[in-house]
A = this chain, B = another copy of it.
Amino acid sequence: MTTIPPNNDSADFTEPTIHTEPIFHGKVISLQVDTVKLPDGKTATREIVRHPGAAAVIALLDGKLLVVEQYRKPMDKLQVEIPAGKLDGDEDPMEAARRELEEETGYRAKSLRKLCNFYTSPGFADEELFVYFTEELEPGQMKLDDEEFLNVSAITLEEALELIKEKRISDAKTILAVYAWRLYLLTGEL
């Protein structure tokens, strides 16, 4: 990398924890507030959400992307997203991806390929999302959780781009999936 001055190349930016205050422990997330020591010796607080991580699948069925439409309470609206779900305990992300795909869409992946993994909100959460890709699908068994209600669809790239414009697709993983799909169609590579 070309570092641009002013730089702090030799600086240690880590923020050692002085104290951790547990705030909440829920079904999905936990919240804690850490008091940390800054590089300049001062202290600061960091609000940190702990999340078990999640897995998602870019699944192409006859060249169309499998998506689910579901209600998202934090935004109070329906969202069209690629199939995804959180990891169960120590579950392997690829197994979680395989399971969520089949449970939510009724299609089973004959093979899965890792595309990428990323932190969704590095400023306040440790949630890591693992994204997989498959074009090899076979009929499986849909099996929704008790609290899960959704519609399954298969969409073309043009429909995906239109759904982004309409804000019916508006989450990081699905927009990233559509970008990756476009790159795949343009270059043949993921």
Q: Nearest chain B CB to A151's CB is how many angstroms away?
A: 5
Collect the chain B residues with CB atoms within 8 Å of residue A163's CB.
Answer: 1
Please pick, from B6, B66, B120, the residue contacting A120 in the complex, using a CB distance under 8 A: B120
Partner pick for A149 among B38, B50, B64, CB 8 A cutoff: B38
Q: At the interface, is chain A mostly helix, strand, loop or mixed?
A: mixed
**Beta-carbon contacts of A62-88 to B below 8 Å, as 1s and 0s?**
001011011111111011110000100
Assembled-state Cα–Cα distance A1/B81 (Å): 13
State in angstroms the CA–CA spacing of A147 and B13 once bound together.
11
| Given contact pairs A126-B75, A152-B7, A49 touches B49 in the complex (Cβ within 8 A) | yes
Residue A91, interface by CB 8 Å: no
Interface code A32-52, partner B: CB below 8 Å = 1, 0 otherwise? 011010111010111111110
Counting from the closest, the 3 A-B pairs by CB-CB distance are A13-B71, A1-B153, A179-B179
